[in-house]
Structure 1
Amino acid sequence: MSSRTTFSKGATKRTPPNKNPEYEFLGPPGAVAMIIVLPLITYGLYFNCRPGFGCIPAYWDSKDGFWPSINTDPTAMASDLWNFFVSYWDSDAFDLYSLFMVFLFVCYLVIPGEVVEGTVVGGIGGSPLTKDRSNYKLKYKINALRTLILIVGLVIATLYTKGVEPFLFLHDHFVGLITASLVWTFCVSIFVYIWSFLPDNDGQEKILACGGNTGNKIYDFVLGRELNPRFSSSPDSTFDIKYFIELRPGLIGWILLNFGMACKQYHDLGRLTNSMVAVLVFETFYVVDSLWNESAVLTTMDITTDGFGFMLANGLLTWLPFNYALQARYLAAFPLDMSPTHCAAVIATQFIGYYIFRGANGQKDSFRRYGASAPQNKGLKYMETASGSKLLISGWWGTARHINYFGDWLMALAWSLPCGFASPIPYFYPIYFAVLLIHRELRDEEKCHKKYGKDWDTYCEIVRWRIIPYVY
């Protein structure tokens, strides 16, 4: 393994890779699998759920664009993947997706927004200005919701002047847009990986992610080598590539794709079904709520701990918008009107999920912000750790250590229920999301155990359940 050469004020400094890395996701073989399998899942969900074919698990033959079996020879596999990718290249879709990305970038730069300071981030290395890692915080510009409002205004103006026709492009060129997003995913991933080896333009040394500096090129490329790739390491710089991509392309793109699917249904039926309306309202509300609370993302593991590489880039540019739009795309192809009972069950699931999710997160935020003495926190019990941190052991957080995950998952289920039960494909998201949340919970448990030691064992004895009380 070779060490990394970095530059600081004209000097050369080396930050060696981790010689005993704690690999996640099955290590380098898992990283290779992600590069291949994640894009194929997104394509597979499209080809197994479209008009004229149906929406069921299926195999494909060569006449329909898929190979009947996967060749295990690496050279042949690479050739098959490349031929498949090229066969679904759509220049118009690529131009539109690229225009969307450029538009978001310009909006970030020109739309006014509050500049906030993030939480302490964790990594290795550091410039002379940031040797004290206990105070290493970055600044971020908050204007994602204003960007969405501008886009909504442009959409309304287009609807008023040209109707739904322009938005049918999103439905008709869906697979081409997937391919375009993957081109951007790989380009961004390659850029930030190479960028992590270069000195900043102001001569400051970069901060690497603890898990992405193993020395294994493939693994580091996928997990992300640099923690916060920026064009400048200056404390006053606000454009962070990972932060920019974290909310804007994925969440806003998801809502735009949903809207395109709704336009397709309206174009074909002359109306929207109540199931389509439910999906649009619930998922749009989730996105607006996320953008309204944009600064909350600054405390997540994505920002503070994980490097920015292929895994996050694919998740935010491709996986999120195109796989999360599955319910709306299903209903565009297979319209469904819910019965009053069905509709009531969907609404109840959504509101219970949101009540748990927002109640738990709000209680934790209030406790952290105002302390136990605040009137709204009166009666909440907590235990104090040796590090000085306080862990809630009553209220929402006394029922399960990650009760908010349960609420989040119930909302995901509510977005799939309007599709009925004719096919399991629309339920891909809650199934995948359950696996993701359990994995995230396990990672968080490990992190907290390292941080709190025996205090965490005591806490787990008091709050026994992980996510769902009396179940898990």
Structure 2
Amino acid sequence: MSTRPSRPARRAFKRTPPNPKPEYEFLGPPGAVAMLIALPLITYGLYYNCRKEFGCPPAFWDSKDGFWPSIGANPMVYPVDLWDFFLSTWDVAAFQVYTAFLIFLFVCYFVVPGYVVDGAVVGGVGGSPLTRDRSNYTLKYKINAFRTLMLIAVIAIATLVTKGVEPFLFLHSHFVGLITASLIWTCGVSIFVYIWSFLPDSDGQEKILAKGGNTGNMIYDFVLGRELNPRFSASPNSTFDIKYFVELRPGLIGWILLNIGFACQQYSMLGRITNSMAAVLFFETFYVVDALWNEASILTTMDITTDGFGFMLANGLLTWLPMNYSLQARYLAAYPVDMSIFHCFVVFGVQCIGYYIFRGANGQKDTFRRYGASAPQNKGLKYMGTASGSKLLISGWWGTARHINYLGDWLMALAWSLPCGLATPIPYFYPIYFAILLIHRELRDEEKCHKKYGKDWDKYCEIVRWRIIPYIY
């Protein structure tokens, strides 16, 4: 006998009252509007205020070569000026290259061999319990990002050997066009997933929505992301998850390719690569390789399990990450720095300490979640049980601070800016911004954990007092 519900039953479910609207984050709709405007402007601003021909920051400020090259003095025509400015950054070749890059990654997702893993339990709202429990379920993900990176590395090395640095100089000379291309794709993907979230899924039921992105306010939901895991079946045996695909591949791999382009620009100007550029290339490439090698660990992060996929994440991963995180390499291409031995030791020391904390903490958490307290590698670790059935580590790395991995992550970010020296604060944009991001993320995670664990979380906080930095914060 078929267990498929009758049509009246399915229609009856759709008439049930909507879920309670969640509280706004990021200052609500005004904050969402601010992100739509400010995030692209900051990316353009970092470019126009750090260029070899005008200084970093510019030594002067006028309507022609300042922050906004095409904006005049009349506020009444700012929208027109902004549109004219955007058109001035349009670059057909850059758009074609960026689009080809995304298409190549998309094809690699399906053709490069990988293995499938179960993600963490995620909690969405909406949908129908007729097919599965929508508030307690797991999804499957294909792991092959590292192999994709290795394929791209082979292609890049072969290009350098056979063609020299010339092909990679395109990335430097067309950089502002690549920013615009990435923003066009950001907007296109954001609009698509927003509309997609209103369409029924493959079993005819409502989509699984993110708890924070289904407020009913169009702009807010568009920015924060309405659907939790936008995905579609590419074939009978293959599912393509849009958020998961964008999370690691275009931004991280694009970041490294841009760095290579800026290193090639420095080489074409100097005939060599400075030790500061080599340090930035090595450390940031190592970070990306490590992230893609441990691709499955991303499945337990808030981006995947909690946040919807909208403009905020799309911009962060398609535009903000590659275009802004490559700032140090772009700066060094214009303003080469030769580090002293002492300078090298400081940079290398900060990087090693940061990575030791970051990977040690994350590795300890992952092995504990995967193998439990009885596993040999977790011998001696102490934990406390909770009413929800979860176990919270109270020793090892996680006994020193509740988010000790954030400290390691930030120290590595600082190490990537230190090779640029202290002549200007602009190359330090990333660690400054990253500190704000991590503190905000920590506050969000604390709120989420308090709701999940209740009094058990209060007890845990009494045992592990420090949030990120032991004895300081």
Fold shared by both chains (TM-score > 0.5) = yes
Alpha-carbon deviations, 1:16-49, whole Å to 9, x = none?
Answer: 6655430000000000000000000000000111
- Asked if the contact 2:72/2:81 (under 8 Å) is kept, the reply is no
Q: How many residues align?
A: 464
Structure 1 residue 78, shift from structure 2 partner:
2.8
Counterpart code for 2:361: A
Counterpart code for 1:93: A
Q: Give the whole-Å Cα distance in 2 for the aligned partners of 1:35 and 1:15.
A: 33
Q: Which residue of 2 aligns with 1:50?
A: 51
1:309/1:14 Cα in 2 relative to 1: closer, same or farther (>3 Å)?
A: farther
Say whether residues 1:133 and 2:134 are aligned partners.
Answer: yes
Structure 1 residue 82, shift from structure 2 partner:
1.3
Counterpart code for 2:182: S
- Asked if the contact 1:42/1:319 (under 8 Å) is kept, the reply is yes
Q: Comparing both chains, which one has the higher relative contact order based on Cα–Cα distances under 8 Å and sequence gaps of 6 or more?
A: 1
Where 1:210 maps in the other structure, the secondary structure is: coil
- Asked if the contact 1:18/1:213 (under 8 Å) is kept, the reply is no
- Asked if the contact 1:400/1:464 (under 8 Å) is kept, the reply is yes
Q: Which residue of 2 aligns with 1:460?
A: 461
Counterpart code for 1:467: I
Alpha-carbon deviations, 1:96-152, whole Å to 9, x = none?
Answer: 001111111111111121011111111111245543235521111111111111111
Q: Give the whole-Å Cα distance in 2 for the aligned partners of 1:150 and 1:98.
A: 18
Say whether residues 1:430 and 2:431 are aligned partners.
Answer: yes
Q: Which residue of 2 aligns with 1:3?
A: none
Structure 1 unmatched runs, 5+: 1-6
1:156-195 alignment runs, 5 A limit? 156-195=157-196
* More divergent stretch after superposition (122-131 vs 340-349): 122-131
1:253/1:67 Cα in 2 relative to 1: closer, same or farther (>3 Å)?
A: same
Q: Give the whole-Å Cα distance in 2 for the aligned partners of 1:443 and 1:59.
A: 40
Where 1:62 maps in the other structure, the secondary structure is: coil
| RMSD, aligned α-carbons | 2.2
- Asked if the contact 2:123/2:136 (under 8 Å) is kept, the reply is no
Where 1:391 maps in the other structure, the secondary structure is: strand
1:311/1:16 Cα in 2 relative to 1: closer, same or farther (>3 Å)?
A: farther
- Asked if the contact 1:15/1:125 (under 8 Å) is kept, the reply is no
- Asked if the contact 2:263/2:333 (under 8 Å) is kept, the reply is yes
1:73-84 alignment runs, 5 A limit? 76-84=77-85
Q: Which residue of 1 aligns with 2:269?
A: 268
Q: Give the whole-Å Cα distance in 2 for the aligned partners of 1:136 and 1:385.
A: 20
Q: Which residue of 1 aligns with 2:4?
A: none
1:379-418 alignment runs, 5 A limit? 379-418=380-419
* More divergent stretch after superposition (43-52 vs 117-126): 117-126
1:43/1:66 Cα in 2 relative to 1: closer, same or farther (>3 Å)?
A: same
Q: Give the whole-Å Cα distance in 1 for the aligned partners of 2:267 and 2:301.
A: 38
Alpha-carbon deviations, 1:345-386, whole Å to 9, x = none?
Answer: 000000000001111111112222222233332222211112
Structure 1 residue 392, shift from structure 2 partner:
1.2
Say whether residues 1:66 and 2:69 are aligned partners.
Answer: yes
Q: Which residue of 2 aligns with 1:247?
A: 248
Q: Which residue of 1 aligns with 2:279?
A: 278
Q: Give the whole-Å Cα distance in 2 for the aligned partners of 1:182 and 1:464.
A: 41
- Asked if the contact 1:405/1:467 (under 8 Å) is kept, the reply is yes
Q: Give the whole-Å Cα distance in 1 for the aligned partners of 2:137 and 2:124.
A: 10
Counterpart code for 2:421: G
1:236/1:446 Cα in 2 relative to 1: closer, same or farther (>3 Å)?
A: farther
Structure 2 unmatched runs, 5+: 1-6
Q: Which residue of 1 aligns with 2:223?
A: 222
Q: Which residue of 2 aligns with 1:143?
A: 144
1:457/1:81 Cα in 2 relative to 1: closer, same or farther (>3 Å)?
A: same
1:218/1:59 Cα in 2 relative to 1: closer, same or farther (>3 Å)?
A: farther
Structure 1 residue 241, shift from structure 2 partner:
0.5
Say whether residues 1:333 and 2:334 are aligned partners.
Answer: yes
Q: Which residue of 1 aligns with 2:296?
A: 295
- Asked if the contact 1:8/1:204 (under 8 Å) is kept, the reply is no
Q: TM-score, normalising length from structure 1?
A: 0.94
Say whether residues 1:306 and 2:302 are aligned partners.
Answer: no
Structure 1 residue 14, shift from structure 2 partner:
5.1
Q: TM-score, normalising length from structure 2?
A: 0.93
Q: Give the whole-Å Cα distance in 2 for the aligned partners of 1:42 and 1:358.
A: 29
Alpha-carbon deviations, 1:197-216, whole Å to 9, x = none?
Answer: 11235534310111110000
- Asked if the contact 1:8/1:205 (under 8 Å) is kept, the reply is no
Q: Which residue of 2 aligns with 1:316?
A: 317
* More divergent stretch after superposition (20-29 vs 166-175): 20-29
Q: Give the whole-Å Cα distance in 1 for the aligned partners of 2:73 and 2:118.
A: 48
1:86-101 alignment runs, 5 A limit? 86-101=87-102
Q: Give the whole-Å Cα distance in 1 for the aligned partners of 2:314 and 2:301.
A: 16
Say whether residues 1:120 and 2:127 are aligned partners.
Answer: no
1:367-386 alignment runs, 5 A limit? 367-386=368-387
User: What is the percentage of aligned positions where both structures have the same residue?
Assistant: 80
Q: Which residue of 1 aligns with 2:32?
A: 31
Structure 1 residue 341, shift from structure 2 partner:
0.2
Q: Which residue of 2 aligns with 1:258?
A: 259
Q: Give the whole-Å Cα distance in 1 for the aligned partners of 2:348 and 2:354.
A: 10
Alpha-carbon deviations, 1:233-273, whole Å to 9, x = none?
Answer: 99965310111111010000000000000000111111100
Q: Give the whole-Å Cα distance in 2 for the aligned partners of 1:351 and 1:8.
A: 62
Counterpart code for 1:277: A
- Asked if the contact 1:8/1:127 (under 8 Å) is kept, the reply is no
Q: Which residue of 2 aligns with 1:105?
A: 106
1:105/1:60 Cα in 2 relative to 1: closer, same or farther (>3 Å)?
A: farther
Q: Give the whole-Å Cα distance in 2 for the aligned partners of 1:152 and 1:48.
A: 31
Where 1:212 maps in the other structure, the secondary structure is: coil
Q: Which residue of 2 aligns with 1:4?
A: none
Where 2:384 maps in the other structure, the secondary structure is: strand
Where 1:239 maps in the other structure, the secondary structure is: strand
Q: Give the whole-Å Cα distance in 1 for the aligned partners of 2:44 and 2:34.
A: 15
Q: Give the whole-Å Cα distance in 1 for the aligned partners of 2:269 and 2:204.
A: 58
Q: Give the whole-Å Cα distance in 2 for the aligned partners of 1:160 and 1:404.
A: 39
Q: Give the whole-Å Cα distance in 2 for the aligned partners of 1:36 and 1:137.
A: 35
- Asked if the contact 1:17/1:214 (under 8 Å) is kept, the reply is no
Counterpart code for 1:438: I
Q: Give the whole-Å Cα distance in 1 for the aligned partners of 2:87 and 2:153.
A: 33
* More divergent stretch after superposition (14-23 vs 400-409): 14-23
Where 1:63 maps in the other structure, the secondary structure is: coil
* More divergent stretch after superposition (383-392 vs 396-405): 383-392
Counterpart code for 2:319: T
Q: Give the whole-Å Cα distance in 2 for the aligned partners of 1:340 and 1:58.
A: 31
